[in-house]
Chains A and B, each alone.
Chain A
Amino acid sequence: MKTRPALLALLLVRCAGAAAPAPSPAASPAPAATTVPAAEGSGPGPAVGDPLPAFQAPDQDGKRQDFETLRGKNGLLLNFNRSVVW
Chain B
Amino acid sequence: MELAGQAESFRRRGIGVASVIPEPAATIKEFATKHGLGYPVLSDADAAIIRRFGLVDHTFQATGDLVGKDIPYAATFLVDEHGVIKEKFFEQAAENRRTTASILVLQGEPGTGGQEIRAGHFTLRTSASNAEVAPGQRFTLVLDFELEPKHHAYAPGVKGYKPLEVQLDPDPVFEVHETRYPAAGTYYFAPLKETVPVFQGRFRITKDVTVAMREALSRFKDAAEIPATIKGTLKYQICSDVVCYPPATQQLQWTLRIRKWVR
Contact = CB atoms under 8 A, between A and B. Distances in A.
A82 B18 contact: no
Nearest to A71: B16
A77 B86 contact: no
A59 B79 contact: no
B75 A43 contact: yes
A34 B174 CA distance: 8
Interface string B233-259: 000010001111111000000000000
B14 A72 contact: yes
Contacts, number: 277
A13 B244 contact: yes
Interface stretch (B46-54, B113-121, B198-206, B217-225): B46-54
Interface in A9-53: 9-10, 12-13, 15-17, 19-20, 29-30, 32-53
A5 B241 CA distance: 10
Which bracket fits the contact residues of A? 35 or more
A58 to B, nearest CB: 5
Interface residues of B, number: 94
Listed residue (B29, B33, B79) with the most chain A CB atoms within 10 angstroms of its CB: B79
A22 B85 CA distance: 41
Contact of B88 (A12, A41, A70): A41
B23 A83 contact: yes
A72 B20 contact: no
B183 interface: no
B25 A60 contact: yes
A65 B189 CA distance: 55
B79 A58 contact: no
B161 A72 contact: no
A45 B244 contact: no
B197 interface: no
17 contacts: A4-B191, A17-B160, A19-B246, A34-B172, A36-B175, A39-B90, A39-B91, A49-B85, A51-B84, A58-B42, A59-B41, A72-B10, A75-B78, A76-B78, A83-B22, A84-B1, A84-B21
Given A33-B171, A80-B20, A80-B75, 15 more contacts: A3-B241, A16-B237, A30-B167, A43-B92, A45-B88, A46-B54, A49-B84, A57-B43, A58-B42, A75-B15, A79-B18, A79-B19, A79-B20, A80-B50, A81-B20
